[in-house]
Structure 1
């Protein structure tokens, strides 16, 4: 069904000026059959009495939006976490949208989180305990159309070509077509058999709901694209939300995909940021203006940055840190600063459990993964954090941390948004466009700090990606190749079963 719909609408019509000011949502979405059937039955038997005409598709939209937002990068654990809904979009579809949300809550399909604070946070929703068991038992999804939700303020895009961000990212998004496929049956079997994930055995049922939704979205070609200048400015697609374990199942026109990742990307772009401030790079000035007000930046931030940058102590710390990053050995060198200790032969790290609202000790596969977590803590935690790793690193690099904290003065999230905006402009708007202009026949797919293509063109991408990153930043990057089929996760899973059979004795999930 979805293939036919997309193939009939490959040529996108031009939007009028009025339409460009409207909100755009995708026409095709996937909803778990168990929820759709439950909603349909209730609507027939106990039809809601709303003030205006009932649009059952709006129920579907709310449910699919919750699933989609639970599938984002921020929800790495893929748990049933509460997520916010965009009130502007909801209001554009139906002014009385709260009636629809309240009805879904009354029917115990979703529930509203209790940590909402008026004027300080948004309402957040997740699936109710009543519906979860059924959702976990039956993860089959059904394709639905949202055309009925179109209004004077909402455009329903019939295909990815009609998305708001298609034209400015056409060089990447045009490859989301019938050639992009996933071995759906193979991926489904893998999910069904999997009981070991990320170093431990536990209840994977809710993760499997999300995983099935991810592969179903790709299989049914329910393609979408978003890119928001107000947040990270990254290009989000069905591939950016696809778990790495499913890469071996993905092909383009039957060919294997090969990716090239920028190693240590966030530290790399921090070096570029610092160099750009020192050298008054206009490119950085434009990005900074998206994150901070010109008044705030020019009045006190720039002055504080210059004070730190001008000190000899900062220059000494910076040279050490920059060498680590540009040599691609930051995580290895971090070990000497942090001096991590093994417990019972393994490394452990503190990780926050958003569901339980507690910090838990989790096993980490190796010291590199442990140090990567430390770097993310340094970059993205709050200034007042009590994290011991943050304090340890700050003792050795107090001036570097002082500089980073300046970017977090107004909001802790500003610094991560800044680095992500730099990354996005570099990889999406400069590097990939350069390659696409030079070789328009090369299929290109982006996943944040990496670009991928088919095996046929991999050598061209391997040559040009570092060349154009250098042209943008003035820094020589370290690029790492990743063959999407290199890791046979199913074989790896079977090997773990053989080595640790006692972990798999219980098959209750």
Structure 2
């Protein structure tokens, strides 16, 4: 035979001492029907001969984990990107996990990326071309249960309320219930009709596969939540991974949702970080201890930071930079330093991609969006980057960039992790908890630096969010309102044609 075949919620309880050392996974997962049917058929025909008893659910777990990781924020612009799997978690679920991965590779369901370097990088996996083609033909999904994977080392939670993350984040996670609805048929139809996305007209097939999975997870109530103290400490849910084009289809208890974004959030929390170090703020000291090795931090890193902060050059640069941020016009002011190329109504710049090791062209319709990307490069790229805009900013703000590079001295990702931890503690653990204490009946959802509720409570959120951000940081933020129902991204294509017909004629559209 050819290979080419294609719960009820429970209240949270306190974990016992033994359970705290066990791995917790969600019982319900969403897997594309094409992949599940293919695996089921192959298991019957070419049944694996593993050392221990076969559990087909572990195949599903590996597949759904790859899909989740491909849908994360940092991978949003990529297609079938190869992603790493957590070997510690896999080993905790099944000690013979490599046999399952190798079998999936042998059956041409997934394949291992070739950029693995022993001791320097993890194995990464993505889907084989045959599977991608199958997903194009059938985008439907099925709910699968993982209860069979429960063991002495694995806890299978029956609901989001039983996840370890729920207790400390109940004020946000309790709203993931039957009242959180997505217009599934409307969203599916929208995906089918979508031809224009983020400034380009091209084949959206692979993006549509992933988008169908996102809306299906919300529709079938396959809720999940994670928050890793050793990583960005952000609360990740089905809404944080949901593409913004689907916000108009989401309601809670039949009501539209309205959100408020913290404007220039990463530069804003960078200002809070610097002010807090200068003022020896205990909040920041605790977060710094979480991110950096205490010996490194206390021995020479803080000395370098303090030396940098004390120079007159830094103080002058910082005053300018801080005013830009608090005025809410940092990206607009950056155009005085960097002038991106403009052609036929669009802005172009070339960014050095650390992962790909070559320059890629980025396109935007506004200078502000372009400058935002340039600034994020400054915050999150490696100190040895070849990106020309990084070096332009470094010439304009040498002392400020020197400080940023000190935070990256051990690991490039440490600085981004630091700012994300600050953001998370501010928004998740302070702002939304304070609001929830005052208005326990108010639905609250977060997408990192954004807080949303139903329109009924919109004015309350608009008033309280900046108040509590100020209480936490001592800095007055600027927030932007976002009515989820107001978006019509497909119409944007018509607007762009009207505004820049010469570009579409030039490119043959």
TM-score w.r.t. the length of structure 2 is 0.95
- Aligned to 1:177, the other structure's residue is in SS state coil
Structure 1, residues 28-75: CA drift from partner, whole Å, max 9, x if none?
111111111111111111111111111111111101100000000110
Are the counterparts in 1 of residues 70 and 76 from structure 2 also a CA contact under 8 Å?
no
Structure 1, residues 378-423: CA drift from partner, whole Å, max 9, x if none?
1111111111101111111100001111000000000000000000
- Aligned to 2:337, the other structure's residue is in SS state helix
Q: Alpha-carbon deviation of 1:177?
A: 0.4
Q: Give yes or no for the alignment of 1:298 onto 2:298.
A: yes
Alignment match, 2:121: 121
Between 336-345 and 26-35, the greater mean CA deviation after superposition: 336-345
Summarize the alignment of residues 47-66 of structure 1 with structure 2, pairs less than 5 Å apart: 47-66=47-66
Alignment match, 2:433: 433
Q: Say if 1:424 and 1:372 are closer, same or farther in 2 by CA, change over 3 A.
A: same
Gaps of 5+ in 1: none
Alignment match, 2:258: 258
Q: Give yes or no for the alignment of 1:289 onto 2:289.
A: yes
* Alpha-carbon separation, structure 2, partners of 1:44 and 1:498: 56
Q: Say if 1:161 and 1:505 are closer, same or farther in 2 by CA, change over 3 A.
A: farther
Structure 1, residues 268-317: CA drift from partner, whole Å, max 9, x if none?
00000000000000000000001101111111111111111111111110
Q: Say if 1:377 and 1:461 are closer, same or farther in 2 by CA, change over 3 A.
A: same
Structure 1, residues 93-130: CA drift from partner, whole Å, max 9, x if none?
11101110000000000000111111211111000122
- Aligned to 1:489, the other structure's residue is in SS state coil
* Alpha-carbon separation, structure 1, partners of 2:497 and 2:356: 29
* Alpha-carbon separation, structure 1, partners of 2:108 and 2:328: 50
Q: Say if 1:503 and 1:24 are closer, same or farther in 2 by CA, change over 3 A.
A: farther
* Alpha-carbon separation, structure 2, partners of 1:226 and 1:334: 35
Are the counterparts in 2 of residues 32 and 135 from structure 1 also a CA contact under 8 Å?
yes
- Aligned to 2:130, the other structure's residue is in SS state coil
Alignment match, 1:232: 232
- Aligned to 1:239, the other structure's residue is in SS state coil
Are the counterparts in 2 of residues 194 and 493 from structure 1 also a CA contact under 8 Å?
no
Please report the RMSD computed on the Cα atoms of aligned residues, expressed in angstroms.
1.8
Alignment match, 1:33: 33
Structure 1, residues 465-486: CA drift from partner, whole Å, max 9, x if none?
0000000000000011101111
Are the counterparts in 1 of residues 33 and 140 from structure 2 also a CA contact under 8 Å?
yes
Are the counterparts in 1 of residues 351 and 387 from structure 2 also a CA contact under 8 Å?
no
Give the total of aligned pairs.
Answer: 500
Summarize the alignment of residues 243-254 of structure 1 with structure 2, pairs less than 5 Å apart: 243-254=243-254
Summarize the alignment of residues 167-206 of structure 1 with structure 2, pairs less than 5 Å apart: 167-206=167-206
- Aligned to 1:131, the other structure's residue is in SS state helix
Are the counterparts in 2 of residues 92 and 151 from structure 1 also a CA contact under 8 Å?
no
Alignment match, 1:136: 136
* Alpha-carbon separation, structure 2, partners of 1:202 and 1:317: 43
Between 483-492 and 205-214, the greater mean CA deviation after superposition: 483-492
Alignment match, 2:379: 379
Alignment match, 1:405: 405
Alignment match, 1:487: 487
* Alpha-carbon separation, structure 1, partners of 2:507 and 2:149: 47
- Aligned to 1:362, the other structure's residue is in SS state strand
Alignment match, 1:330: 330
Between 333-342 and 281-290, the greater mean CA deviation after superposition: 333-342
* Alpha-carbon separation, structure 2, partners of 1:350 and 1:164: 43
Q: Give yes or no for the alignment of 1:418 onto 2:438.
A: no
Between 470-479 and 117-126, the greater mean CA deviation after superposition: 117-126
Alignment match, 1:217: 217
* Alpha-carbon separation, structure 2, partners of 1:274 and 1:357: 32
Q: Say if 1:197 and 1:260 are closer, same or farther in 2 by CA, change over 3 A.
A: same
Q: Alpha-carbon deviation of 1:490?
A: 3.8
Summarize the alignment of residues 97-108 of structure 1 with structure 2, pairs less than 5 Å apart: 97-108=97-108
* Alpha-carbon separation, structure 2, partners of 1:19 and 1:409: 37
Are the counterparts in 1 of residues 196 and 490 from structure 2 also a CA contact under 8 Å?
no
- Aligned to 2:481, the other structure's residue is in SS state strand
Q: Say if 1:354 and 1:63 are closer, same or farther in 2 by CA, change over 3 A.
A: farther
Are the counterparts in 2 of residues 71 and 78 from structure 1 also a CA contact under 8 Å?
no
Structure 1, residues 203-256: CA drift from partner, whole Å, max 9, x if none?
211111110000000000100000001110000000000011100000000101
* Alpha-carbon separation, structure 1, partners of 2:154 and 2:371: 45
